[in-house]
């Protein structure tokens, strides 16, 4: 079955319009990753899938095909938490997943952060931009990332390093100009057996996100609707999430005031250096620097909404890792980690490993 046949199944106006089976979705994404089809047909397929509404089975099929081709780091590493952040990034709030991950690593968790840089169509700020500013960077080499996680308890790996076929799809994503199943699939490359925290966009997709992860060999998982689909909760209001625990799905609401971490305003990026036309926030040196400085301030313990958000994020990581029984325990551990200076020690070790 080729992509033209599959497009006839999901294409608008087709009398036999239906969802793809798991096997059909797997085949479709294998074809897309192979580069054997024209850009026009791949674009038509992805847009038609989005217009129809992508199902859990279709996303699982895509994820299985992607994992079959990817070099996934840290398989079998005990106690690992995989942070699956949106690779298209953020442009209104700073990415605080690095700060949260370093705080959790300072408390003893092993953290793998899956990210990338300037991914179309949004090309926003990501963890990769922050790590570049901090002087340690992410790596495109999964083996190197695994070494970082084992030795420093934290590592950030580019999903395009794990699955190079994603690079050839960037021009296509730019031309399509909207989020498609590609944006979700690349967040699903976490090593089987690890606990997972995945960011979900606003709207009704939260349930879909956690249901997809449920079928991908992860013992514990959390889908969270942070600002702009991030993994870090909001501090001015409740953040919705759904947790997978021992096969059961449990609704979770993160209320910052419950932990003494509420703030009147969400962390924001400054407006002094807006992206030029045709650029994204991740292309803008002023915004990259600002996001990096916000993370540095968090690691220094400066009181702010960003510090509070990072502590909540670290608490979620520690709960997902099993080191903390409750989120309250996780937040307490995160506060002790930050106050002790342990996250900066992790960062210094990462800098040494990256040299």
CATH number, domain 80-354, options 3.40.50.2000, 3.30.160.20, 3.40.1030.10, 3.40.50.300 = 3.40.1030.10
Residue 208: CB atoms within 10 Å: 18
For residue 243, the model assigns a pLDDT of 96
Residue ranges of the chain assigned to CATH 3.40.1030.10: 80-354
Helices 97-106, 342-354: axis angle to 10 degrees equals 110
Residues of the chain with pLDDT under 50: none
Residue ranges of the chain assigned to CATH 1.20.970.10: 3-69
For residue 272, the model assigns a pLDDT of 63
For residue 252, the model assigns a pLDDT of 95
For residue 15, the model assigns a pLDDT of 67
CA distances to 2, 149, 178, 183 from 201, rounded to whole Å, are 31, 28, 13, 11
CA distance linking residue 288 with residue 89, whole number of Å? 12
For residue 269, the model assigns a pLDDT of 87
Please give the sequence-ordered ranges of beta strands (E in DSSP) within 118-219, or none if there are none: 154-158, 195-199
For residue 279, the model assigns a pLDDT of 79
For residue 12, the model assigns a pLDDT of 73
The CATH superfamily label for domain 3-69 reads Transferase, Pyrimidine Nucleoside Phosphorylase; Chain C (1.20.970.10)
- The helix (run of H) or strand (run of E) holding residue 254 is strand 248-254
Most distant pair of Cα atoms in the chain: their distance? 64
């Amino acid at each position: 079955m080729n992509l033209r046949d599959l497009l006839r199944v999901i294409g608008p106006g087709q009398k036999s319009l239906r969802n793809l089976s798991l096997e059909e979705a797997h085949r479709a994404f294998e074809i897309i990753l192979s580069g054997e089809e024209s850009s026009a047909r791949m674009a038509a397929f992805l847009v038609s899938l989005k217009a129809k509404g992508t199902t859990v089975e279709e996303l699982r099929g895509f994820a299985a095909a992607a994992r079959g081709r990817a070099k996934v780091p840290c398989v079998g590493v005990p106690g690992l938490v995989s942070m699956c952040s949106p690779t298209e990034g953020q442009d209104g709030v700073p990415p605080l997943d690095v700060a949260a991950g370093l705080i959790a690593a300072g408390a003893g968790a092993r953290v793998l952060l899956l990210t990338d840089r300037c991914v179309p169509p949004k090309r926003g700020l990501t963890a990769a931009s922050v790590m570049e500013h901090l002087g340690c960077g992410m790596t495109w080499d999964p083996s190197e990332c695994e070494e970082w996680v084992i030795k420093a308890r934290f590592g950030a790996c580019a999903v395009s390093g794990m699955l190079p076929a994603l690079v050839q799809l960037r021009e296509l994503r730019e031309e399509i100009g909207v989020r498609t199943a590609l944006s979700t699939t690349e967040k699903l490359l976490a090593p089987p057996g690890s606990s997972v925290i995945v960011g979900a966009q606003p709207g009704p997709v939260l349930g879909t996100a956690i249901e997809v992860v449920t079928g991908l060999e992860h013992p514990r998982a959390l889908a969270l609707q942070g600002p702009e689909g991030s993994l870090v909760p909001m501090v001015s209001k409740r953040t919705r999430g759904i947790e997978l625990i021992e096969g059961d799905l449990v609704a979770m609401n993160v209320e910052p005031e419950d932990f003494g971490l509420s703030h009147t305003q969400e962390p924001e990026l400054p407006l002094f250096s807006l992206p030029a036309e045709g650029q994204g926030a991740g292309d803008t040196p002023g915004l990259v620097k600002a996001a990096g400085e916000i993370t540095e301030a968090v690691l220094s313990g400066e009181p702010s909404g960003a510090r509070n958000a990072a502590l909540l994020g670290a608490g979620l990581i520690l709960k997902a890792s099993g080191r903390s029984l409750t989120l309250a325990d996780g937040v307490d551990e995160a506060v002790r980690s930050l106050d002790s200076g342990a996250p900066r020690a992790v960062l210094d070790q990462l800098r040494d490993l990256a040299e």
